Amino acid sequence: MPDESWNTVGKRDDHKAATRRQIQQATLDLLETAGVEATTVASIAERAGISERTFFRYYDSKESAAVPGQGELLDALLSRELAPSMSPAEIFQELAGACREQFAHEVEQVGFGRISRLLLREPRLLQAVSRQEMHLVNTVSDAVEERARLSRMQAQLVAELIACTWRVAWQCFAREESAGRTSNPAELFEQAVQNLAEISAPAAFGR
């Protein structure tokens, strides 16, 4: 006999995911037509068919609703198993795996093109992304230092490299989009990881 409690949890998770997508869709629609200044949380909630209170259960601002990827990425990074026996390079690869999976999810669920075009034309969104990235780096570096027992500098570098790789892949995608060229965000992320490995190889530092 099916476990009804699991079915209930699954339906609840599906509903939350659908509500998140509904809020983001409404946010992007309004930002594209009205811009950041004219778009309010109230107008987003009305378009999404929810209350403002419900909006704030999912996002803390209209900017985070427009670009939710970093919040979800942070959750994915913090969920990875890290052991004190892992080297900084192994930890980076483990966290890069979380980024890779998150990219695949976003490619499927989120309008990459719409977001990248908005980021190019709306400085306030870029500022919000920068704030989110700073929070991500600080939170991940704290977690890596505590759970993997790296030094503070090592943990900070790992977190910064993860955030940088994610950002560079996004920026390359945005440039390709603005130039009218088709690109695959996941492939760009892989290229960013590979290029980082080549640049940071010991030979690059004369060793």
pLDDT at site 112: 67
pLDDT at site 184: 78
Helix residue spans in 39-79 (DSSP H): 41-48, 52-58, 62-66, 69-78
pLDDT at site 189: 86
pLDDT at site 18: 87
Helices 88-109 and 123-148: crossing angle, nearest 10°? 140
Q: Give the domains, in start order, of the chain with CATH numbers.
A: 1-61 (1.10.10.60), 67-201 (1.10.357.10)
pLDDT at site 66: 87
- Residue spans of the chain under pLDDT 50: 6, 204-205
pLDDT at site 205: 47
Tell me how far apart the alpha carbons of residues 114 and 177 are, in angstroms, rounded to a whole number: 10
**Torsion-angle region of 149 (φ positive above 0: left; ψ -120 to 50: alpha; else: beta):** left
What is the DSSP code (8-state) at residue 84? T
pLDDT at site 166: 87
Dmax (CA) for the chain in angstroms is 65
Convert the pLDDT of each residue in 68-118 to its tens digit: 767 778 889 999 999 999 999 999 999 999 988 887 777 666 566 777 778
Q: Give the global pTM.
A: 0.74
pLDDT at site 111: 65
pLDDT at site 12: 66
